[in-house]
Amino acid sequence: MTLEQTKTEEILKWFEQINQIPRCSKNEEAIRNWLINWAQENRFAVVTDKVQNLLIKVPASPGYEKSPIVVLQGHLDMVCEKTSDSDHDFTTDPIKLIYQGEWLTADKTTLGADNGIAIAIAMAYAKDKEVSHPPLELLFTVDEETGLVGASAIEPGFFEGSLLINLDGEDEGHFTVGCAGGLNTDITVPIDLCDVPTGFQLMKINASGMTGGHSGIDINAEKANAIKVLNQTLYALTTQVDIRLVDISGGSVHNAIPRYAEAWVLVQQNKIETVETIVQATETRLKSAYQNTEPDLFIKIEAGEGHYDQAMTLEKTAQIIDFIMVLPHGVSAMFTDMEQVVETSNNLATICIEAGKLKVITSQRSSRESRLEALTHRIEACTRLVGGEAHSKSLYPAWQPNNESKLLAKSVEIYERLFDKTPIVEVMHAGLECGIIGEKIPGMDMISIGPTIKYPHSPNEKLHIGSVGQVWVFLRELLKETTGI
């Protein structure tokens, strides 16, 4: 067994232990306490801040005491998504891992490699007495997935390092040197109700079978948004029959493309056959449109259960469907100076009816502040046109590339030497904590790396096993050679 394979096994063992601990966003106490105990057992200094970000200080190897301190950074939380037929409880149950050849995945849930594998890699370096390294600071933030909350609360002086290696990358051989900024918009729209007219039947329409994915990384992958699919179906119905919307829901979190959505509608009893025909025709059209990216997409209609005395008025039903139709989703602009790189996008993330109001969350991203602002203003304007309110929040900055980065230059040099190929240097269309950290602490030299992860933020998430060892080999050499940076 090669050294690379041995270290891969070691890192995955740490990862397996990490995945025994529930760690959805805002529920990081258990994983933090586990890491604190581990650090104390190994006599590493431990510090937490006011929001419970965690810093573990690892002494330098002999001879590296005067080298620049290097920060290895990741986040404690994970996105908790599961399939509709999973009974997994993210508050109590461990993630069940499945090894499939070259890949590691989970049983009907997100894997948590985003970003548990960063924790495991950092722990492996801290424990390995054979690796020569400078003083290390293992920085693990809280609540990254809901809006980079932990990084936003970091205060200057919490850590000392001037070189930061973010381990939240998701493509081995790619060095990320910039990322999009973004914010979320919370929308509420009042709804008008009326008594249910006679001669109407309650029906449930379900749009599902879609793969979802990361709302930044996968936004240009032509994945279907289940909320949009459902709404296209409702719109098609309104062109031929009288329907009244009773309830609607879809999506789960702001940073995942919705995989499912459903609506309860009242339709005329003498038009049920027509409704079923329209739904089937819409499904056929959309399955054809997404045949390469969403082969399992389906739209199902069935008789609804329960009794409703009221539903939305005919006019309000039409207005809500029109509103969802015009809300943007997907790529808004591409970079003009970087081939096939998304600059600006929006994710129509969640929808529901609560306390007599339609509630929607959208998530905008852009590497250009002016376009982020314009897209957000468009969403807010659409909301005002239907008498609703929009509140945009959780703004986080873009990370602008540093063409003079010595850390990047050294990383490229080492990668080419080790693997006899040139790494890809890129700007990623997702929020990374580097943007916030760099804004708070000017002069930080940063890159983001990581093993290959596919389909994060969805139950299809999987980790390429071989790429874990490659990242370890590269990082081992980089840490040896940071002295001159």
Cβ(343)–Cβ(366) under 8 Å?
yes
Is 445 catalytic? The answer is no
Residues 165, 151: Cα–Cα separation, whole Å: 14
- Cα–Cα distance, 236 to 246 (Å, whole number): 17
Neighbours of 336 (CB within 10 A): 8
Which of the residues 77, 145, 171, 426 is marked catalytic?
77
Find, among 474, 381, 390, 399, the residue nearest to 435 by Cα: 399
Q: Which of 81, 114, 143, 144 is catalytic?
A: 144
Tokens found for residue 334:
């591409």
Residue 454: beta bridge partners? 462
Is 418 strand, coil or helix? helix
| Residue 419 burial (C-beta neighbours within 10 Å; 0-12, 13-18, 19+) | middle
Q: Tell me which H or E stretch contains 353.
A: strand 342-354
CA 259 to chain centre: 13
Q: Checking DSSP bridges between strand 342-354 and strand 330-334, what pairing results, if any?
A: antiparallel
Q: Is residue 484 classed as helix, strand or coil in its secondary structure?
A: coil
Strands 103-106 and 181-190, by their bridges, are: unpaired
Report the DSSP beta bridge partners of residue 333: 344
Residue ranges of alpha helices (H) inside 346-464 are: 369-385, 406-419, 433-440
- Distance between first and last Cα of the chain: 34
d(CA 347, CA 354) in angstroms, rounded, equals 21
User: Residues in the chain, how many?
Assistant: 485
Is 144 among the residues known to form the active site? Answer: yes
The whole-angstrom distance between residue 136's C-alpha and the CA centroid of its chain comes to 27
User: Locate tokens 């389909």: which residue?
Assistant: 455
Point out the residues that are catalytic. Answer: 77, 144
